[in-house]
Amino acid sequence: MKSADWVRSLVGETPVILPSLLAADFANLVSEVRRLEAAGAKVLHIDVMDGHFVPNISIGVPVVESLRKITNLKLDVHLMITNPEKFIVPFQKAGADSILFHVEVVPEPRDLLRKIRDLGVAPGLVSNPTTPVEKLLPWVDDADIILTMSVQPGFGGQKLNPEVFDKIRTLRKHIRPDTLLSIDGGVNEKTIAACAQAGVQLFVAGTGVFDADDYTQRMADLKKLATREPHHQHSDDVLFNTLPAGIS
Ligand code: DX5
Ligand code: ZN
């Protein structure tokens, strides 16, 4: 039986960049994964969409199964589906290392989080940008990863909404020190430092990684920006509206 403990070892390795395969070239997944392995990725983020919870359809169980056969990277499976309880076991059998589902569809998630852990998979709880932090706080002790969406889920390439930083700061105050805070949506070279300052440790990045010609360089740049201490405090306004592209 696998164990969910792997996720605890990430605590000492933060910041961790999780490339989101949604932005990969699906016709060349093997070479994309090899390039990410060479770039030092430890965890791949996999977006599962059902066309109901979100207005898009993406990756399903067979793709996770195929990925499992070609890589030892950890597979972080983000379920954007209305009935996650039906798919926990199929994704666990397919080889998921963490399974994250939305509090909007499971408002009392304790049992499902525990079921995931009992299967040897790290459980994660996700919330949409506008879902209040109070909906999460009663359940955070049963999750290893708390993922905050910084865009409305369903599509890559959107702009990060900095209003979620307040939620992340509140979460940090209320969760165990070994629970990991993750963010998903619009994470790139311009926004990642502010995410880190808010307390994020795991950074899901789709276009933020895949729009680079050199994934190794981009992964290193993102990690550096997420590590760097700020010279001085920027307002969100400055960070998200006026910084030029290519800030270093
Ligand atoms: C959005 C997905 C994300 C997506 C992020 O619904 O959950 O994982 O890949 O894409 P970017 O990083 O391009 O915003
Ligand atoms: Zn995602």
pLDDT digits (tens, 9 = 90+) for 127-162: 999 999 999 999 999 999 999 999 999 999 999 999
> Does 204 contact ligand 1 (Cβ within 6 A)?
yes
Q: Which atom of ligand 1 is nearest to the CA of 153?
A: 6
* Residue located via tokens 């994660």: 124
User: Is 47 in the active site?
Assistant: yes
| Active-site option among 76, 97, 144, 184 | 184
Q: How remote is the CA of residue 140 from the centroid of ligand 2, in Å? A: 19
Residues 6+ apart with CB under 8 A from 18: 41, 43, 44, 45, 76, 182, 202, 203, 204, 205
Residue ranges, the chain, pLDDT below 50: 233, 235-238, 241-248
Percentage of the chain with pLDDT > 70? 92
> Does 131 contact ligand 1 (Cβ within 6 A)?
no
109, exposed or middle or buried, with CB in 10 Å at 0-12, 13-18, 19+? buried
> Does 188 contact ligand 1 (Cβ within 6 A)?
no
